[in-house]
Amino acid sequence: MSFRFKALLILMIFVLNMLHASDTLWDRPYTPTTEPPLHDKFDYFSETESLECNGMFSPTSCVFRARTDAHLGWVIFILVITFFLMAGLIGDNPDRADPYGGGISLSEKAKERINQRPIQWIKALIVFAAALLLVQYVRADLTDKRFDFSDHLVTIKKGGTDQLLETIPFQTIAALELMKYKTKEYMHCEVNLRLKAGKRIHLYAGKDKILCTSAAIELSEKLGIGVEKLIYSGGVVYGKETQETL
C-alpha cells in the first residue's frame, strides 16, 4: 500500500468522522419543549465565560468561569452612593472655599459649626459594611462550574473563590441540554445539565449559538453522554427551521 493511498485513506476517515460529529448536533433540528430556559434575558453578555478546557494548570478539566465584570454597573452604583453617604457622615473640611461663593472662604462662625459637628464613625462603618454585603448579594449568582475528568465530578463554586456550593458526580448526569430561547424580538442559547433525578443546572448562555454548540459537543465527547437539542419559544410558532408548536 503506497504512502499516498494511506494518506488519502486517513484523510477520508478523518473527514467521515468530522461529518458524523457534525451530523450529531450541528445539523440536528431543535425539539420543542415546554421547559423554560434557566437563564434570564440579557442585553450583551451573560455572566459566564465560554468553555475553557485543558488549561495549563488544570489539564484534566473544563470550566465555565464567572465573568469578572458581571454586574459591574450595579457595583459601581453602590460604591458611588456609599462614598457620598460616608462623606456626609464623616464631615466636611471647614477650611475649604465655599463652592457656591465664588471662591470666598467660609465664615469663622460656619467653620466653628462644622468643627463642632461630631464625626459619625460608627454609622459610616455600618454604611460601608452594608455596601459590601449588598455587593456580595448582587454577585451571589456568579458561579464557576468545573468538570474534573480525573475525579469525575462537576464542582460549582462561588465565582472567583474556593467556596464550594455543590458537587455533582458524572454518573448522576442524564444528558446535556443545548437550548435555544427564542421570541420574535429576542434569542439566546444555553448549555445546561439535566440530572437523572430530573434537576436542571445552568452552565452557560450566549447570543452566539456557535459557542454554545461547540461547548455542548466538547463536553458530550468528554463525558460520553448525549445532548438534547431543545427550543423554548413561549407559545410563538416559527417557520420551517424548527417547526416548533408550543
Mean of per-residue pLDDT scores for the chain:
77
Q: What pLDDT score does 20 carry?
A: 47
Summarize pLDDT for 109-120 with one digit per residue, the tens: 655 555 556 666
Q: What pLDDT score does 180 carry?
A: 96
Cell of 32: 420543542
In this prediction, residue 70 has a pLDDT band, given cuts at 50, 70 and 90, of: low
Q: Which residue has the cell 460656619?
A: 110
Contacts of 127 (CB under 8 A, 6+ apart): 82, 85, 86, 89
Which has the minimum average pLDDT: 54-63, 96-105, 120-129? 96-105
pLDDT of 231 over the 90 cut: yes
Q: What is the DSSP string of the chain?
A: --HHHHHHHHHHHHHHHHHHHHHHHTTSPPEE-SSPPSS---SS--SBPPPEES-SS-TTEEEEPBPTTTTHHHHHHHHHHHHHHHHHHH---TTSBPTTTTTPBPPHHHHHHHHHSPP-HHHHHHHHHHHHHHHHHHTTT-EEEEEETTTTEEEEEETTS--EEEEEEGGGEEEEEEEEEE-SS-EEEEEEEEETTS-EEEEEEES-HHHHHHHHHHHHHHHT--EEEEEE-TT----TTT----
Q: Name the pTM for this structure.
A: 0.66
Cell of 33: 419543549
Q: What pLDDT score does 220 carry?
A: 95
